[in-house]
Structure formats: C-alpha cells, structure tokens
Structure 1
Amino acid sequence: MGIQFATSQTASIIVLLVTLIMAALVLRRRYRSRQALLRRVSELEALSAAGRAIVSAELDLMQLCRLIADEAGKVIDNRTFQIGLFEDSLYEILFWRIEGEERETPQTFDLRQNSGIVGWVRQSRQPLLVHDFEREMNTLPARPRYVSDTPPRSAIFIPLLSGEDVIGIMAAQSRQPRHFSEEDLRRLTILANQAAAAIAHTRTFEQAQKRAAQLQLVGQIGRQVNGQQDLEGIFTQAVWLTRETFGFHPVNIFAVDEITGEVVIRASTRPDLMEHQLRLQPGQGLIGSAVSQRETIVCNNTTKDPRFVEQVEAQGVALKLPAQAEIVIPLMVDEEVLGVLDVQSPKLGVFGATEKLVLEALGAEIAIAIDKARQLARQREQAWITTAQLQVAEAVGHTDDLDIIATTLVRLTPMLVGVSFCALLVWDEETAVYRSAALYGADQELAEAFHQSHLAIGDWHPLDAVHVSHLPLTTTQPPPWTVNLQTAGEDLLPQWRLWPIISKDEILGIIVTEPLEETAVSANSQTLERRLELLQNILQQAGYAIERARLRLAQQEEAWVNTVLLQTAEAVNSLIDLNEILDTLIRLVPMLVGVESALILIWDAEKQHFRAGSGYGLSAMGQGLIESLTISQDEFLKITPQSGDFLTPNAAYYAIELTPWLQKVMGTAVVHAFPLNARGQLVGVMLVGSNSENGRTFSNRRLHILNGIAHQAATAVVNHQLYQEAAERDRLEQELHVAQEIQASLIPPGSPHIPHLEIASYWQAARQVGGDFYDFLPLPDGKWGIVVADVADKGVPAALFMALSRTILRAVAFSRQNPAEVLTRANQIIDQDAQSDLFVTLVYAIWDPHTATLTYANAGHNPPLLLRQNGHVELLKGTGMALGVLPDVKITQKTLCLHPNDTLILYTDGVTEAVNANYDEFGLFRLQNTVQSVQKQPATEIIQAIMTAVRQHAADTPQADDITLVVIKHRPTESAPNPHNQ
C-alpha cells in the first residue's frame, strides 16, 4: 500500500514538472515573438523615419544621395555602399563608400561594352542578392565588372524605379560571405523605393533649374554675339563666351567653305588649333559627320567612337587635354549648314539631354548671328555690284557703234573686276572668224599684233573649245598674236582666261583676261564670287550691246529675206504640178544666192534611193544622165556636217564631196546639201553647187534663203505625196465598199422557211469585210443544209477566201446528201484552187424534217451548243480538221434527233473570244449560261440576249473578230415564216 502511494506521488510530481516545463517553453516563445515583433516595429519605424527624412529633405542631388546612404546605414551594414544614376549608356556614381572610406564622386562609366551586374539589374528591373560571389559566380545572371585584389564576397543590388524607368542602382557590398540576408534585401528595397521617388523629384527639379539658368545665359550670349557685325568677331566671341559661361574647353567653331565644301576652323579657345588651320571633309570625324548628317552628334565617351580618333588624326595636333566627351551642333538657317559649334570636355558623360538642349539653343543663336552678318555683307556687296552694273549698262547702252562698245568694255572690265589685261574678240559670222575689236593693258607692240590678227576656227584650240561649248576656259597656251613678239606669250601671262559673250544661245565674241583667281590671292570665296558675278553681268551687257549693234543690219537683211521667201511661197502656191513647182524653186536658187548649179533629188523611201527632180546649171548630157539613173547615199563620198546628222530630219546643211560622174553633172567637186524635211521625215535633198574649197560661202542671209527654198520644196513634195496617198485611200475605200456590198449579198437576206424549225441569224464583220459566213441550202427530198463558217483571218483576204469557200461548198452540197462527203470534197477543191495559207473552219448540218433528225459534220469549228427542252446542255464536238490545211482529211458525221423545243446554237469564235479591257474572254461558260436563261424565248430574243451579254462583257473594248450566230429551235407545229436575220 505504501509503495503504491509513493509511486502515485512520484507520477504527480513528474506531471507537474512537465507542465511547468511546457508552460516555461510557451512563455519563452511568447517572449521571443514579442521581442521579434518589437524589433519589426522598431525596424518599420526606422524605415518610415528614414523615408520621411529622405522625402522631406530639400537637398541637391549629391547631398540627397549622402542622406540616403546615412539612412540606409540605420537598417543594414553600409560600410561599402553605392548609389549611381543612369544617363543613356552611362552610369554615374554619385555616392561611393568602400569599407567606410568615401571615394571622390561623381564617377562615370560607359556601359555599352560591358554592363555587368549593373546593366543586368537595369534591364531586368529585378533586385539581386549574392550570398557568395566565389561560389555563385558561374550561376550569376551577369559577371561583376570590377577588377580588384580584394573583391567583395557578398552584395545586394536594388534598382531605383521611377514609374516605368530604372533611374539608377543602390548597392551594398561586403568582403564577408553571406553577410546579407533576405531581410536585408527586403529592408533595403523598401528604402530604395522611397529613395527613387526623392531622387527623381530632385533630379527633375535640378535639371529644370539648370536648364532655365543655362537658357538665360544662352540669351545673354546670343545678345552679345548678335551685337557683332563681322563674322570673325562673332566666331571669337561665341567660343570664349561659351567657355566662360559653361566651363567647357576647348570650344571651337567651324565654317563650311562655300567653294570646296570643306569644314574649316574659324575660332577656338585653343590657339594651337587655329595655327594649324584645321580642315575636315564632310563626313570626316564627328565634326564632318554633323555637317553631312545635318544633326547634332553627342559622344559622351570619345574613346569608344572611331570618328573621334579619325578627327584627332586629321588635326595633327598633340592634344594636351584629350577630350573624353564631345558634342557637335550644326549651325543651320533655312536648312543650310553654315558651320558647326564643337564643344569638348575632359570628363565622361557630361553632355546629357539638358546640355544638348541648351547648347543647341546656343547654336541657333550663333547661326542666326552668322546669317545676319552674311546677309549684311551680301547687301553691301550687292549694292556695290548694282552700282557697277548700272555704270556698265549706262556706258554701253547709249550707243550702237560696235567700236565704242568694244573700247568701253575693255576699259571698264579691268576697273571693276580687278584684272590688268583685257582683250575683246568679236565673231564675224559672214567670214567665220574672230576679229580683234579692242585691247587694254598691253604695250604698243602687243597692241599692233593684236589688231592685225583675225582668228579662224582651228587657229587657237582654246578659242575653238569656248566657241563650241559656250563655256569659260583657262589655258596656258598663249594666243597666236603673241607668237612673233620679243616677249613670249607665256612671259606676258602664265595663264589666259577666255570668257564667251553669249546672246540668245549664240556666241558673239570672247573676252580674254588673266584668271580672276590670280588677281585675288588674298580674297576670300565671297570676294571671288562677287567678281565672277560682276564679270558675268559685264558679259551679259556686252552681249546685249553687240546684239543691238548688229540688230539694225540683221533687221534689214531679214526683211529682204522674208520678201524673197514670200515671193517664193506665192510662186509655189500658184502652181499645182510638182515638176513645175520644183522647176520654179530650183531656178530661184542661182538668182537669189549666186551659185552656178543646183539640183533637187527626191527620196524614195521604199526603194531606199534618190531619184532626180528638177535641176539648174546642168549640161544637157548631165541632165539626161541624172534623169535616167538613181542615186544611193553611197554616192556621197566625203561629208562635212555643218549642223546635225547626215540627211536626217534634224539636219541643216552639209558640204559633200561628189563622185566623179556627179562632179561632171554638177560642174563642181563640192556641193552643199540641204535636206528636204517634212512631217519629221526626209523626203529629198537640194544640192547647191559651190566653187569654194573651204565651204564657207554662205552667210546667214543666204542660209535663210536656201533653207526657206528647201522648206518650200519639201512642202511641195509632201503635199504631192499626201495627194497621192489620199487618192490611193479613196480608191481603197471605194474598193472596200464594193467588196462589202458584194459580201453582204452573199449572206442570206433572211432566214428561210424550214419546216418544223424556228431560225434566227446574226452576222457582224470586225472590219468593213470579214471571213465569217452562214448559209441555208435547200436540198432534194425537202431537206435543208445549214452552214456556219469562219475563215482564219480578217479583212479583204478573209472575205475573198470566204466567197471562194461558200461557192465551193454550195457546188458540192447540191450533189451530195452526206455532210462528211460534202466537207471532204470541198477540202480537196479548196486545197487545189486556193494559193494562200488561209483555211476555214465550219459546221455543216442537214436537217430532215420528216424524221426530225440533224446530221452534221464539224471541220475544226467551235462545237455547236445543243440545249434540250429539259435544260440539259450538249456540246457537239468536232469530227474533223479545218478545210484548206491538208489535201486529205478524215471527216466523220453524227446524227441526232431534235425533240420539240430543243435549241441549237451555231456560232463562231468571235462570240466566245470577245474580250474586255482585262483581256478576259466571254467564253463558252457565259454563252451557255446566257442561253439557259432565255431557253424558252423565241430564237430572235435568244440572239438578242447573247449579243447583249457579249457587249456588256466587252464594254468599250473594240470588236476584234467577226461574229456569226445561228439559233435553231425545233417547233413541230412551225409553219409560219421565221424571223429575219439581225
């Protein structure tokens, strides 16, 4: 009993102890939970306080980043800590602490080549917790970019998110592995979200302030720059004010050379660059690229841009401060690039969006100032040029004396243009030489040699080139009048410049000077351009004056020529016969021009040779010889073109060396040939004899007369040809009309009365006559033959072959009752009698009204369409070859029974092959559908429905082939006459 009590007491004690232990454990767990909760609350309060401190702070960006780092130190270990922001491809660290020691900031890194973990976090927008770099290196989404002897072992990288953008990175690192936990990541992420909002706000505010301040400075710079009136002052002030205001160095301004197009340095804050007179081609380096691309180029890391390297090599200057960043802004006004503003910096990534905006605004101000200065300079130059032009116009505009005009020109040109030598050569069209007119800037010996010289084409090759091209030319070859001088021509001037005087596309003279470039060594391109403009005006005024001086004589000559040509036209119009007209014209040539012989040859285009027309000054034997022979183009041996190509509608006239027999006929070895052109075609040639060896016998007046006579002769020949062509057309039209009437008479005037059949027919030729036909042949025993045929051609040949085929078919059919035999025999006769390559396809059917049967044979024709009363459609396909192709053909025949109200459609390919504008044929399918839709209608209405459908399908497309239709309906009770053909 005692033992049991003791045991029970022990058990109670054990239970009590267990209960106490469990209670203690519960109390301990509750205590720990409370402590964790208190720590969590404390942590949240700390984060909240940090967030409020960050958000409410009114600091600049650098101070804000330091505050964020300090607040981060309250929630995690931040002895190694970093805050960086993104700007395009650059990463700028604004706060950087390594093992408690702060580094100098900001520091900028280019992420284009190797962005590392920072780039991955930016792209993925995800935080990254690295417990141990050494163990996790191969599994990381990106490798660290840094190279260090004591790299971190663990780290946290958190993106700073502002809206949809990652504006930067917050990172904490440690040299101890597994130093950061998920709790650290969570706490720092909360802080990073609050920090990102504050950074974005501060950044935006600072950028706005900076932009406003810089734009205000840009306005001040613009006002100072615009106060300058000369370009050099604008360039110099612009670069130095930019450097002083924004602190960038070097600052350069390049201008575009108006002559070469090169980009030339005009001002710089680095004097050594100005000493080397740097020149770049468009597209060369960053500066040249900005000019060629016409847009701002920003390079925030020049070491990564090959264009910067190319630019440095072109400079050829040892850069004391190599630029790390550069922005090049084209200076443009009205889409014209005037130059570039080149701003450089020894720091990476300094040219952000704000700097770009501000410097572009500055560039616009500089461009406007440059343009204003250029316009002012142009106005001054234009005023001077206008005054000089008025002086020239007044000097040469009040006289018609060519000598006074020439003297005035050679004296005014050196004064206004700045040359020391000037000579004027005037073109004499009558003698085809350049006559010396006036000279300035030469000694007596040179002046005498000049005034004694007359230069023909070929005497001075540079003059020849200018005479032909009408373009200025510079040459080192001295003119012929300097050849015999004691002082050689090359010693007088090293180069000679020839300026053509042009009026109405005709050269009137040439002014000879030294090149303007030689007289303006120190002048800029604008000065040279001004002199060229002034000289062009002098040349223009000279052209007007010389033209005016010659106008009086030209008007007199023109009046005389017009009178002569009018008399010639009146003489031609009073005659009708071509030979009389040509005789009259050819007799006028010697009277008006003074040549000894002339001959008109008429071109036979079909036979490709000339035949003789009228002649004058030919011997009796020569006249008979020329009339009995034809002349080919090969008879003309040597041709010297005076204008255009030989004997073409665009030619003027030619000097031609004749063959010996033609020389005897014309009495001269050389003649001038004037093509007779009309309606863009060569219709003949007028040969005018000449005793001149050089072929320069005709002045403009004589040429006008000869060309006028040639035109009258050409008109007479063409009118004669047109008359003959019209007569031939009338004859052909009459013949076609007769043929049409004959062919129409061969077509049945109406459909005959055939027992038990209702018949309608339609025939329309594509031309006036055609090759389609149809026929109805009464046969013995009350039978009827029905024919629809198509000759494989159109027009008159088809019509003739159609008449032959119809005649043969009728002759054979009346003696035979078998369609196959009829076609076989007809083919034999056609093959024997026809001499052409034509053939005919046809369907020949014999209707037996007693048995209501139709026996037919098809010789290569379109298959007839049989529409049964029940709507079933049958094609009666061909049973043989077309007639006229081979001498022996095998043709079979078939017999079918027509039931009441059955419809048979016979047609030619003009129906099914009718096309529309898209070349889509009407086709058998449309024909079948059309017939089925009007099956119960009379034969006449069926034809009307078919032709309506064909016309609607073809629309405005002209009919290309003959059309023939025969519609047959079986009417057992039919006794009345059938409708007539359409």
Structure 2
Amino acid sequence: MQILAGFGLNALVALVRRATRRIVFQRRSVHELALLNAASRALIHSELDVDALCEQIYCEASKIVDTSSFHLGLFDGDHYTLVIRVQDRVRLPPVSFDLSAGDGLIGWIRQTGTALLVEDFLREMEQLPARPRYQSARPPRSGVYVPLIAGSHVIGSISIQSYQPHAFGANDLRLLSLIADQAAVVITRARAYRAQQEEAWTLNALLQVAEQIGQTNSLDEWLATAVEILPRLIAAPRCYVLLWESAQAQFHLRAAYGVDLQQNQQLRGTCDALASQRLLSQLHTAEARIITITGSGQRQAAWPCLPPLPQPHDGSLVALPLRGRSGLLGALLLDYDDPVPPLDPLQTSLCVGSARQVATALESLLLTREAEFAARLEEELRVAREIQTALLPATTPKLPGWQIEAAWRSARIVGGDFFDFWRLEERQTLGFVIADVSDKGVPAALFMAMARSLVRAAALDGSPPDLALTRANRWISRDSESGMFVTIFYAILDPASGQLDYCVAGHNPPLHYRAADATLHALRTPGIALGVLDEVTLHAATTHLAPDDILVCYTDGVTEAIDEEEHEFGVERLRTIIQHNHRATAAKLKHTILSALAQHSHGQPTFDDVTLVILKRSGNGML
C-alpha cells in the first residue's frame, strides 16, 4: 500500500508540474500575442519614413525578442544597407556594401526567401546552406535570420544573434518572422510614399528650372541662370557652362559658378585642348548622358587650368551634354572637391532633366531672333506633351461588375486638366481624381504634373478624401510660387459595396444618376480649390452607386463650350444626355457626350480642356 501511495503521489506531482507548465506557456503565449498586436498597431500608425519605421521596428522587436545583437538591413539592387546595427546593446552607425543574391547567409535568405534558425554555429557550420560572409574575432554562436518579403520580392532581412549557443529556439523564429511580415508591409508602403514624394520634388524642381530658364531673353541672361541652377539643386561647389563651336571644333567657356574673378579669367580661352580629352570627347556620342571622372590627376588632365584643390581633397568632374535637335550644343561641368558616389535615380533624373531643359533653352537662343520664340515654344510643347501624356493613365481600371471610361482633350497641345486612378490595396478600394488647373498651356501642364504627383502622394496611404486633399493643398501651396490653383474631385470607390466616399475642392459637381428613381443628383461638398490658401477646410461625403447607377465627372470645358452664337453647352444639356442614355454602356455614353459637344461647338475654337470620367455599375438594363 505504501508503494502504491508513493506511485500515486508521484503521479500527482507530475500532473501538477504539467499543469503548471501549461499555465505558464498559455500566459506567455497570451503576453506574446498582446505584444505582437501592440507592435502591429504601432507600425501601422507610424509615419511614412523608412528610417523612422526601421527605428520603430527595432523598438517593437525589443519588447518581444532578445535584441542585444540586432540587424535590420534593406536591399537596393545588389546594394545592402544595415540601417539598424546593435551589437552587445551598443548602437553602431549604418553601413552599406554590395551583396548579391546567394552571397553569404543574407544573400541566401534573399535568394530563397527562407528564414533560418542557427542554434550553434560551431556544430552546424558544415550543414548551413551558406557560409557567413563576415569575419570576426568574436563571432556569434547562435542566431535567427528572417527575410522581409513584399509580394514576391525579398526587400531586406532582420537578424538577432547571441554569443551563447542555443540562445534561440523555434518560438523566437516564429515571433521574429511575424514581426518581419509586418515590417515588410510598412516599409514597402513607406518606400512607395517616398518615391511619390521624390517624383513630386523632381517635377517641382524641373518646373523651377523651366520657369527660370524660360524667363531669359538673351544669351548672357541664359548663361548667368544656367550656370547657377544645377549646382544649387544638387550641392556642387563649382559649375561651368561650355558652348561647342562646331566650325572651330572647340569648346569655349561662357560662364562659371563658384570661382573668383581671377580664376574665371584664367579659365576662359583655355578650352582648346578639351575637345580631345576623354571627358568631353565622349559627350559627342549619342549614348552619353552623364560622364564622370574621379581623382585629382584625372581632373587636372581633363582641364589643366581648373582651380587646384586643397589637400586631402581628390576631386571629380561630372559632365552633362547639352544636346539639341542639331546636335551637341555644349556641356555643363560640375566640379566637386571629393569623388562623387554614383548618382541615385533621383539625382540622375534631376541632372538629365535639367540638362535637357537647359539645352532646349540654349538652342532657342542660338536661333535667329525671328524664329526664337516659335522654336523654343515648339520644343517646350513637345516635351510637355510627352510628360503630360505619360502621366495620364493609358487605360482605365478593369473591375468586375463595373464599367469605367475616361476622355481627355486639351485646348492646346498641352493642357491643365488631368485624371488619375490608383488602387488602395489595403482597403481593396479604387481611388480616382479629376482636376482642372486654373491656367492653360505649358505653365498649366507643368503645374498639373506637380499637382497630380502631390495629390497621388497624399492619397496613396488610404486617407479619407478630405484629409488627403487637405494634405495635398498644404504641399501645393508650399512648393508652388506660380500663383495657379487647381479644382479637384477625389473619390474612393468600394467596388464590392458600391460605397463612394468623395470630396469636392471647388470642382464642378459630378452628376450621379440613380437608376432606382431615375433622378440625377449633383455631388457637392463645401471647399475651395487647392493652392489658393495655405490652410483650407474641406469636407467629405458618402453616396452609394447601385446597379445601373452612373457617375459622370467632368471639367468646365464640357459645360462651358460655346456654339456660333456663344451659347454654352451647359449643365442642363449634359443632364439631359445622361437621362436619355442611362441604359447605354459607359463607353457609349462617353461617345454620345463627346459627339454632342463636337456638334454644339462645331467650327468654334476650343477655349478650355475637356475631360470626362464615367463610372457605371453593371446591372440588368444595359443596351
């Protein structure tokens, strides 16, 4: 009996221990889940800045796993940057290096998209899928490595390490993988947001270049402006403008920035040998866009009379061709104190775009005065038309159960109207906008490009329409000095339910045809155009598009088109067309409106741009 009692006591103790472990495990799981939920909320609501997000990811990870040694790195092509580096709880500065797919453990993770748990490097080294790339006098003994995956691409990795073997287990791998999944989403969103901001900044910078260059009326004014624009935009200490004299096959220095008067005089007239130097001779090739020479020796060889650089500066030159329709016109030379790293896409776009605009202006000034204005305007319009056409959607979105059509006709070669569509993936919704800039021609087209990019950047995070347009207004007012403004209708459509959230910022109210009672309703909200005031108060509203409902968005070029007796087309005529053709497809309705407009204004000059965006929810009554 004593033996049986002993067995019973041991069994009871074992049961208590198992129950205790289960309770501890459950409590730990609940705690971990709460931390993960808190981390997810914190990351979702973080600001859309990659560096700030990386800091937030590190902070949230520190609450969940041991981050005494922590690395967060991001890929940019074959370039890898460790944005966050922590070793023995000590923050180290970021570091960048080349790392191709398959190179080391991180390269293997990028290539395979697979997470890795190493419990003991010494025992598992021969079985690892790849050898660690780094060499250290005190290497880690264990670690967890997880990829940051966005869609089908590995955009980076997160790792934690320890000098102790078996410091991490499967649970650490699971927790870090969950953190990485959230991190990849917010970093991808921040990168997209930054790309839109960079695009808007570049377009605004090019707008400033166009405005300043376009205001010059003589070659001397052009030289004084051209030599200062680019170095101020990309922080080059010195810049030179060289003009190519084809008859003499020589470059001549015509303007210099960042040098004193004595140096300027020494440089003038010393360019004869430049035509045979590798730097400038390469500018004659059709492929040349940007040519760089690095090193003080190469710099002096390219142009012996350049100002000497103080030690220990090594110097570099960046040459941008000024090429027109007739060939090479000259070159912009940027002169740096130190070797310049490879230009990133933003700098490249800015340099090439600025050089093109400078070259266009130069070519116009070199023509005879009688042809000056016409030639320059033709080139500006051609470039602007290409830019504007490229910015407008080539096709309309294809959504099951919906018909979406758009039309754009500019009064001149370029115009100020625009429309755009974008998918808001997180909400499975469609954002779309129609807008009208206050001016016409090239200035309106450039302002349109900037406004379109800023509105898109403000809306891509899925903000409600009124908040997105308020943010866009702030940016437009800050970045533009042209005095122009833009009216906008912005809406977010939920294709599944038909819900439409919208905001009208001084724009023509779109017309909503309700099939249920065959009525037309103008969509209005209080608010003024963007760019008028620094701060505006806008409002959002919501409607619902039921089957067979139609939404017709338009600019005032539609309703204000005039006939031979200067009678306007008018909103009532547009309403009548919609009501009489409500059973037609969206494409046929668009064609009917444009045909009626052409018939009304037949023979009359078009004074304003014409833009239409039509949505129809499919039903049972279409022709």
TM-score (norm 1): 0.33
Structure with the larger RCO, 1 or 2 (CA within 8 Å, 6+ apart): 2
TM-score (norm 2): 0.50
